[in-house]
Amino acid sequence: MQPDVIIVGAGLFGLTMAERLVNDANKKVLVVDKRHHIGGNCYSEFDATTGIECHKYGAHLFHTSLDQVWEYVNRFTEFTNYVHKVYTTHDGVVYPLPINLGTINQFFNQAWTPAEAAAEISRQATDAPANPQNLAEQGISLIGKPLFDAFMKNYTAKQWQTPAEELSPDIIKRLPVRYNYNNNYFKDKYEGLPKDGYAAWFDNMVSSCGDNLEVRLNTDYFDDPDFQQLQNSGVYVIYTGPIDRFYNYRFGELKWRSLDLQKEVVEVDDFQGCPVMNYADLEPQYTRIHEFKHFHPERSNDAYAANSGKTVIVREYSKTWHLGDEPYYPVNTAEDREKLAKYQALAEQETNIIFGGRLGEYAYYDMDKTIASALDKYAAIKANL
């Protein structure tokens, strides 16, 4: 197939673009990905020994308040009514997250009402500036210093290995703080997990495109000179890999955090009683443990049964990224933002290349924001195709 458009990367950004280009603009599209599967970091697979669905690149929970995105994703998969819950262990005691009245009263050993707790936290937050410029200031202004020190300071230090004073306040702005006992981790209008798994969702997106979409896996865009030729001849390229890699790191590397995900099959029915347990202190060194069977309580096959005798957990360690590691979280210091501006200036001069997604935009996008960004960019280029 001679493609009208080449898409580099079969993650959510690439697949959304591909689906729209084929089904809405009637284009022929070639998607290449260097991995052996589609779905990018949202990919999951069913563990061979237990049959439990495990998210290969870290746990992925779908949640959105964007009506357009919810309508779009429901074309390709049904969602369960899963609502995400997270707990955290600090100083040998388990607390509910996100910070809510339960966490506050348990931590201060009080029985404050919502108004009393809000007044106390706001008193504790008086040290923070009115317009927080970094994660530490943002955290203290949200929850006061004692709670910040207990639940965020060390977790953030383990997660980012960058002083909280150098990190963007945006990293924690997304976490709700509640003065009631609601401990739903997210505050979005819609939430759930793909009923038949992430891989089935992405397969449905691909199969909706029929013969006008070719997906070539195990293919690095930069390894095949034919792609360079097509790009130079003016074929449209949608690039969702790292933007600094595209320009051969000429202004230096943008910094990322990577993860070490250590999977273990444990011979117990239930390891921790909840989907995710965070560890707020410097020890243990992992930031959290995911136990995947809790993501699908509705599944009733042997692996998910209460007395199956087996469960799959993943211990998540944050690690410094070096070239060749998986880039997971953009560190996004002032120095990174300066470099990014230079790469973006080059990208703006391109006439037939669109940069998109988490890696292409060096952005900490959730799945819904990735899809929204792809739909917006598609709408913007449609007239020029």
**Residue among 179 and 355 whose Cβ is closer to ligand FAD:** 355
Binding mask 257-276 for ligand FAD (x = CB under 6 A): --x-----------------
Q: Is 35 a catalytic residue?
A: no
Q: Is 328 a catalytic residue?
A: no
Provide the token pair at 232. Answer: 């130079």
Q: Is 358 a catalytic residue?
A: no
* Residue spans of beta strands (DSSP E) within the chain: 5-8, 29-32, 44-46, 53-55, 62-64, 86-90, 93-97, 190-192, 213-216, 236-239, 256-266, 276-279, 288-291, 311-320, 329-330, 353-355
Q: Pick from 138, 159, 168, 311: which binds ligand UDP (CB under 6 A)?
A: 159
d(CA 369, CA 378): 14
Q: Pick from 3, 6, 14, 156: which binds ligand FAD (CB under 6 A)?
A: 14
Binding mask 224-263 for ligand UDP (x = CB under 6 A): ----------------------------------------
Of 46-54, 164-172, 331-339, 364-372: span binding ligand FAD (CB under 6 A):
364-372
How many Cα neighbours within 13 Å face the side chain of 371?
23
Q: Pick from 16, 44, 88, 138: which binds ligand UDP (CB under 6 A)?
A: 88
Catalytic one of 75, 174, 250, 337: 174
Q: Is 257 a catalytic residue?
A: yes
Of 31-39, 122-130, 151-159, 290-298: span binding ligand UDP (CB under 6 A):
151-159
Of 148, 144, 172, 149, the residue nearest 160 (C-alpha): 172
By CB atoms closer than 10 A (0-12, 13-18, 19+), residue 139 is buried
Of 260, 305, 243, the residue nearest 50 (C-alpha): 305
Binding mask 45-84 for ligand FAD (x = CB under 6 A): ------------xxxxxx----------------------
Distances (CA, A) of 296 to 58, 267, 278: 16, 19, 19
By CB atoms closer than 10 A (0-12, 13-18, 19+), residue 84 is buried
Provide the token pair at 64. Answer: 């959105």
H/E run at residue 160 = helix 154-160
Q: Which does 312 bind (CB under 5 to 8 A by kind): ligand FAD, ligand UDP, none?
A: none
Question: Three-class SS of residue 159?
Answer: helix
DSSP state of 233: T
In the range 264-283, which residues lie near ligand UDP by CB under 6 A?
Answer: 278, 280
The gap from C-alpha 116 to its chain's centroid, in whole angstroms, comes to: 35
Q: Which does 156 bind (CB under 5 to 8 A by kind): ligand UDP, ligand FAD, none?
A: ligand UDP
Catalytic one of 20, 178, 245, 358: 178
DSSP string, 92-104: TEEEEESS-HHHH
By CB atoms closer than 10 A (0-12, 13-18, 19+), residue 118 is middle
Q: Is 226 a catalytic residue?
A: no
**Residue among 7 and 128 whose Cβ is closer to ligand FAD:** 7
Task: Please count the residues of this chain forming the interface with ligand FAD, following the rule CB under 6 A.
Answer: 36
Q: Is 365 a catalytic residue?
A: no
Catalytic residues: 174, 178, 257, 288, 316, 364, 366
Residues that bind ligand FAD (CB under 6 A): 8-14, 32-35, 40-42, 57-62, 220-222, 240-241, 259, 328-329, 357-359, 365-368, 370
Interacting residue ranges for ligand UDP, rule: CB under 6 A: 88, 97, 151-152, 155-156, 159, 171-172, 174-175, 278, 280
